[in-house]
Amino acid sequence: MRLCWGRTRTRARVLARIGAGWGLVAALVVFAAPAAQADVLRIGVLDYQGSEHSIAHWQATGAALNAALPGHHFELVALDIHALDAALDANSLDFVITNPGNYAELEYRHHVSRIATAEGDMPVASTLVTTEPLESYDDLSGRRLAVVAPEAFGGFQVLWRELYDHDTRLPGRIEPLVTGYPMQAAAQAVLDGRADAAVLRACLLEELQAADPGHWARLHAFATRDLPGVPCAVSSRVYPGWPFAKTRHTDAALSKQVAIALLAMEGGNLWTVPLDYQPVHDLLRALRIGPYARTGPVSLSEFVEDYRDWLIALGIALMFWALYSVRIESLVRRRTAALDAANAGLVREIAERERLEEEERLHRRELEHVARLSILGEMASSIAHELNQPLSAIANYAQGCSMRLKFGTFTPEDMERASTEIAAQAERAATVIRRIRAFVKKRESLRDPVDLNDMLRETEVLYEATVHRAGVRTELMLAGDLPVVLADRVQLQQVVLNLVQNAVDAMAETPAEDKRLLIRSARQADVLKGPGVCISVRDRGTGLSPAAMARFAEAFHTTKPEGIGLGLALSRSIVEAHGGWLRAETPADGHGLRVSIWLPAQEER
């Protein structure tokens, strides 16, 4: 338990010492005349309610001493608690009358010794007063409490010890208001609304209300105790009465005579032998003030005593933290084991998915290869015709050369011309074969920047014989300055060849003059995918019914009697794998079908 108003006490002590100096000067001036006599003895009286009240209260004691010891003149000097301390420092007092708490500190600091204790005087205790409906110590929580000074015994320290004993946390929840002396200033602070309650010396409330009932009537005591023999309301335990003490330089024989005179008094102030002031020391020790204030290092036991509640709370918190840590560690381990198991399952799932994806990729490659072979099979007769033309030309040139050699009309110029033509026709046949081999060769998908116009021109060589034999006229309308696309050239050729073959098949029953195939390329931006290039293949065949249009490019759905329904499905998957789309629509004039391929343009870097 500690008294923790360090700053307030320091400020109050500084101001009080200044006032104490002036009070001491005034006292010396008042008693200047008796000071000229060698036998003048000064009695310092603690002033808590005004100098006139203090002098009047102890006047009977001064008169009794003057009567009992005619060879000495005793003078009463009213001093507040700080002025009293200053006067003892100056050795200007011979005796002291003060409250028990102040006496214990003066005994420690100035070695004063009590020779009598007041008897039958007002009880040494504290009274809580207020104008509000407060009833207990707990009602002070969060409120402002007026006190005369932190050093005041009955006006602060006695009540503060009671608050600590009731609840060690309660003093920390109370806001103090130091009013200074006289003590009725604390009561006035309550009436002025500057404080919610005040601490007064026991019986002071009754004295104030008796002297001026109109002014002090609103005040009432609370948190009181019913103590036998106590004539007024008190809010604390009662301590031994005020001591009469000699200073250390006062003659022992004189002090003995004074003690005898005090004990012999029968009226006014009554005195008895010095009482046991252990309860006062217990209070000071509990609050660690006065002679029990700490000035050196704090021992472990004192630290534990000071912060016992905090240490208990810390221990409980550490215990809960340890339990929480153990629980968290257990949960983490279980969660880690679960995650490890989940990760193992995920690794197996990923491996299985990669295996399936690899199988699907290989299967897809096989299907694409089969589709290309299927397309090539459909075009075989046309391709054979395409190869037959250069081979026939080569044979004709060879026979012509042989005949001229027989007749001796073969000149070097004829030889050069024939060789050139034969070589040209052989290169033409080789080109067709190379492109067919590249088209049907099994290979991994390789994506490179592709100029779609160039791709369409190269593909024309592959389908030229097919459309020619079917009597279809082909027209290429290629837009200029198209952006390149990132694609697999062979796969795109496969898609175009499949669309061309389907268009030729669709125009099998179309009149010869209407068999026209239009292949176009143009820039086209997609709303969602951005800029790109569109290739369209338009025929004038039978078109598609609404039901067939709804199932366009669906796997295993075909309108050909001998078809298997994979060509368009593979074409759509190729286009979509390139980030594009494949769509069919009926042209505005209602004849035939238009199939469009859209591919995104390669991003510029």
**Residues 417 and 321 placed together within one structural domain of the fold:** no
Span 85-92, average pLDDT: 94
Residues 6+ away with beta carbon under 8 Å from 365:
442, 444
CATH code for position 601: 3.30.565.10
Span 577-597, average pLDDT: 90
Looking at 34-48, 196-210, 318-332, 363-377, which range is the least confident one? 363-377
Share of the chain above pLDDT 70, in %: 82
* Per-residue pLDDT reduced to its tens digit, 392-434: 667 766 777 787 777 777 777 777 777 887 887 687 677 667 6
Inside any domain, residue 422: yes
Q: In what order do the strands lie in the sheet with 95-97?
A: 73-79, 40-46, 95-97, 243-246, 113-119, 270-272
* Per-residue pLDDT reduced to its tens digit, 491-500: 888 889 889 9
Residue 97: what residue type?
I
CA count, 13 A, side-chain hemisphere, 475: 9
**Residues 480 and 586 placed together within one structural domain of the fold:** yes
Inside any domain, residue 13: yes
Inside any domain, residue 1: no
Structural domain harbouring 391: 382-442
Predicted model pTM: 0.47
**Residues 482 and 580 placed together within one structural domain of the fold:** yes
10 pLDDT more than 50: no
193 pLDDT more than 90: yes
* Per-residue pLDDT reduced to its tens digit, 272-293: 999 999 999 999 988 888 888 8
Residues 6+ away with beta carbon under 8 Å from 500:
459, 463, 466, 467, 517, 519, 537
576 pLDDT more than 80: yes
Q: How far is CA 139 from CA 135, 224, 592, in A?
A: 7, 13, 98
- Bridge pairing between strands 175-178 and 144-147: parallel
Looking at 156-170, 210-224, 288-302, which range is the least confident one? 288-302
Q: Could you tell me the pLDDT band of residue 387, with boundaries at 50, 70 and 90?
A: low
Share of the chain above pLDDT 90, in %: 48
Q: Could you tell me the pLDDT band of residue 9, with boundaries at 50, 70 and 90?
A: very low
The reported pLDDT for the residue numbered 505 is 87
69 pLDDT more than 60: yes
561 pLDDT more than 70: no
Q: Which two tokens stand for residue 403?
A: 């005949």
12 pLDDT more than 50: no
Residue 559: how many other CB atoms lie within 10 Å: 14
The reported pLDDT for the residue numbered 565 is 58
More confidently predicted of 413 and 389: 413
Residues 6+ away with beta carbon under 8 Å from 444:
365
**Residues 450 and 542 placed together within one structural domain of the fold:** yes
The C-alpha angle 216, 221, 224, rounded to 5 degrees, equals 160
Span 177-194, average pLDDT: 93
**Residues 184 and 147 placed together within one structural domain of the fold:** yes
Q: Are 521 and 534 in contact (CB under 8 A)?
A: yes
Span 37-66, average pLDDT: 88
User: Smallest Cα–Cα separation from 176: which of 27, 327, 8?
Assistant: 8
The reported pLDDT for the residue numbered 29 is 37
Q: Which two tokens stand for residue 151?
A: 């050093």
Answer whether the bond into residue 150 is a cis peptide, omega within 30°. no
Looking at 26-35, 431-440, 507-516, 579-588, which range is the least confident one? 26-35
Inside any domain, residue 166: yes
Domain boundary among 324, 345, 378: 378
Span 344-366, average pLDDT: 81
32 pLDDT more than 50: no
The reported pLDDT for the residue numbered 124 is 92
**Residues 534 and 396 placed together within one structural domain of the fold:** no
Span 580-588, average pLDDT: 91
380 pLDDT more than 80: no
Inside any domain, residue 10: yes
The reported pLDDT for the residue numbered 462 is 78
User: Smallest Cα–Cα separation from 122: which of 162, 153, 83, 165?
Assistant: 153
Residue 218: how many other CB atoms lie within 10 Å: 12
Domain boundary among 174, 190, 222: 222
Out of 36-50, 69-83, 418-432, the most confident range is 69-83
307 pLDDT more than 80: no
More confidently predicted of 22 and 157: 157
Q: What's the start-to-end Cα distance of the chain, in Å?
A: 78
The reported pLDDT for the residue numbered 308 is 80
The reported pLDDT for the residue numbered 289 is 86
Return the SS3 of 139.
helix
**Residues 515 and 406 placed together within one structural domain of the fold:** no
Inside any domain, residue 234: no
**Residues 277 and 328 placed together within one structural domain of the fold:** no
**Residues 492 and 575 placed together within one structural domain of the fold:** yes
The reported pLDDT for the residue numbered 447 is 83
Q: Are 535 and 596 in contact (CB under 8 A)?
A: yes
CATH code for position 190: 3.40.190.10
The reported pLDDT for the residue numbered 435 is 59
The reported pLDDT for the residue numbered 43 is 96
Q: Could you tell me the pLDDT band of residue 439, with boundaries at 50, 70 and 90?
A: low
User: Smallest Cα–Cα separation from 370: which of 440, 420, 461?
Assistant: 440
379 pLDDT more than 60: no
Q: Could you tell me the pLDDT band of residue 24, with boundaries at 50, 70 and 90?
A: very low
Inside any domain, residue 228: no
Q: What is the domain count for the chain? A: 5
> In sequence order, what are the beta bridge partners of 42?
75
Inside any domain, residue 300: no
Backbone angles phi, psi at 285, to 5 degrees: -70, -40
**Residues 476 and 570 placed together within one structural domain of the fold:** yes
Distance CA 599, CA 540 (A): 25
383 pLDDT more than 90: no
**Residues 77 and 205 placed together within one structural domain of the fold:** no
Q: Could you tell me the pLDDT band of residue 367, with boundaries at 50, 70 and 90?
A: low
556 pLDDT more than 70: no
**Residues 461 and 431 placed together within one structural domain of the fold:** no
Residues 6+ away with beta carbon under 8 Å from 479:
453, 520, 521, 522, 523
* Per-residue pLDDT reduced to its tens digit, 501-544: 889 988 988 998 889 999 999 999 998 889 999 999 999 998 88
